[in-house]
Chains A and B, each alone.
Chain A
Amino acid sequence: MGRLGKEYKKGEIIARQGDKGSCMFVIQEGEVEAVAEAGGREFRLRTMGPNEIFGEMALFEKEIRTCTVRALGPTRILTIDKRNFLTGVHEDPSLALRIVKTMSHRIRDLTDRLAKYEEAT
């Protein structure tokens, strides 16, 4: 049947750390991993599945990707343009609510992990 978005194969990179980007992504189907590169090493930040979003920072601030996102298997991804998003938020600020929720979730997650990390060291 019909499918929306763009298809990626396993291992294909959807967004690359350091690249410029002006859109956010919504996973339609499949799983992806977000990895950060630092000091020549890769850290897996998280994995994400259908209906989850990533790349949302590009909508709000600088348009440089902070991590690399890679398909873990066959994946379909829909992009949300910055222009479209901001016109929408202008008319209906609550449109941003879900993204804000996701971001706050992620901050909490990172804080937790940081705390655990500090505890361990």
Chain B
Amino acid sequence: MSGAKTAADQPATALFQLHAQQVEKLPPCQAQCPNSGDIRGWLGVIAQHEKNGLTLNQAYDRAWEMIADLNPLPATVSRICPHPCEDLCTRADKDGAVSINAVERFLGDWGLSRSLPLPRIDSEKHPESIGVIGSGPASLSFAYQMARRGYSVTLYERHSVPGGMLRHAIPDYRLPREVLDAEVERLLGLDIALRQNVDLGNDVDLEELREKHTLIFLGLGAQAARHLGIPGEQGPGVITGIDYLRQRKERSESLDGKRVLVIGGGNTAMDAARSAKRDGADVTVLYRRSETEMPAIGTEVDDARAECVDFRFLVSPTRIIRDGESIQSVQVQGMRLGEPDEQGRRRPLPVPGALQELAADIVIVAVAQASDWHGLEAVDTAHRWLRTRDDGKLDKDLWAGGDDRGPSIASRAIAQGRLAAESAHAELRGERGAGAASARNPINAGAVKTDFYANQQRSQTPRRPQTEWLSNPDAEINQTINYDQAIEEAARCMSCGLCFDCQQCFMYCNASGFTRIQETSPGNYFVLALESCEGCGKCIDLCPCGYLEARD
């Protein structure tokens, strides 16, 4: 019995306890969504509808409302959004990210086809009058959030039709105008006044509007385009991508047999190239780096290729050679890739002596958007883009959002419009700002036990047959998944960081720690009686979505 003595004064074993608690976490999809969409929430409403006593129709209605709460244009935005939400979806490593975008698009169409009204916020009418410059997504979002909070809102738009770039730049084969029209109309139906053909700086000036309205929102976008600054650029046959797309929206002109060179590698370049193809031209895209550095969405590039758009990489135009007025060719400099720049993209460097001439009739320059500050003389426009606070506040009565704070995507414009409205409302009502979406911690990688979930292939957005793309040039290529696919896809969501009623904790807790809630809803199925927990930690290990975690 050696050691018995020394052992006798030791305390007995210390039980290493793992007590559980329920803590909601921020899922990666929401963290990635520029508009912080509660994706998990609305997917859950659909996937778990039976548990919560909803018919599938009711669930779709409810899910649409949840989206529309943050974004008044779901059918529109879902059609064009590059969906960063799917990039880090936890499901990606298992059997493909949840097709969040496809479900959102389905819901957008669902809302339109059922004429669902935009969800109201019960609010008294407020006396303040709000002026909004522009009618792009940023302005529309701001106007929506203010109108539903009880303010009277007036939009001032330079053009005859609202919608900004969505209307004037994005081609119909990606975004049918009927969809945009229907969603804008529904939005304006919230008693929002639209004053078309009013150009700030020409038809009205900022001081006037400041007097008229308590508060002004600037959603001017980035209407100008940058030029190449090379010899021969001035003159006929050279046009910016945005101008070309804008003109084409009004009246498309045949480019049959013309050789078109599109300069640039972004989405505007892709839209311009594919549009020119539809107008009958032979199109080549010139990009000064290689394909991997291209900022355009991958599928856009693939689709352009499928439509026989040619690509030349690692070339940079140096001169446009004209014969009199008309363009003969473009001289290009061969490039190679050097060290990565600040954004991590490899910098193009000229290869000495590698000069070449490419025959051309028309050159479309789509290298970058630029600001147009006319009418904003009273505002600090010293920088390339407007500099505001995070909530969009620029001056005591001025808020701004969207591309005028730096070009981005529609979803971000919507988010900035919304956050500006929330901040403006709080200020007008003397409340404290709503603050960040919430202080929830992002879910840890690995906290979701992906192998718990059954394999289920991702449903793909259906597409029009490729043979029809050019023959039916304005018809939308992407289509909407159907009624059944939408719930199937929603059921693929693993509900990262929020209880989805898998019932494992309830089923396996030996201490009967979990009690079912009477009125359930996604995330709300069981209460955990902390005092009955025995500290075995089993439910923490079991909870597939990472909602249960250890208490300290």
In the complex, are there CB atoms of A and B closer than 8 Å? no
